[in-house]
Structure 1
Amino acid sequence: MTGAFRHVVPGRNYEDGMASVYAEFARRRGWLKPDGVLTSGAYDALKGRARQWAGEDRTKRAHLNQQPGRPGEPGGHS
């Protein structure tokens, strides 16, 4: 299964993509139940922040030093 990612994703970074594929497979079969789901508005807000964040160049160190937190926690988003 990783072969599909191996040819389009450099290095060994395709493993996260595989986790996403397996999670979706498990969710569709009812084996994986989410603790909660985003509302349409929350999802749109997340997409907007992600698009903006992804549009800026960052070094690996800057990326790893970011600790966004969880919603409701210091550094998290509500």
Structure 2
Amino acid sequence: MLRHTLPVLAAWVARRGPQHRSPQAWGNHPLLADLILLPAPASDPEHTEQYGRYLLRMDDELGLVHTTMR
């Protein structure tokens, strides 16, 4: 799981919704408690997830790619 994580600016995660919260059981684990989940189906490598005013997607070469919605 931690292999698929990356740091982001704190402002990005200030208003996470219920669909992006980690499972309650992770709350006591020091490495998992603050994770923000971005669901992405493995069968769709071009999947884009909206998070606040950002559109996020993972790229094999670039890592996390984001665009700002207007």
Which protein has the larger Cα radius of gyration, Structure 1 or Structure 2? 1
Could you say whether these structures have the same fold, taking a TM-score greater than 0.5 normalized by the shorter chain as the test?
no
- Which structure has the highest strand share of the two? 2
Under TM normalisation by the shorter chain, which class is it? under 0.3
Write 1 or 2 for the structure with the bigger share of helix.
1
The structure showing larger relative contact order (alpha-carbon pairs under 8 Å, at least 6 residues apart) is 2
Normalising by structure 1, what TM-score? 0.23
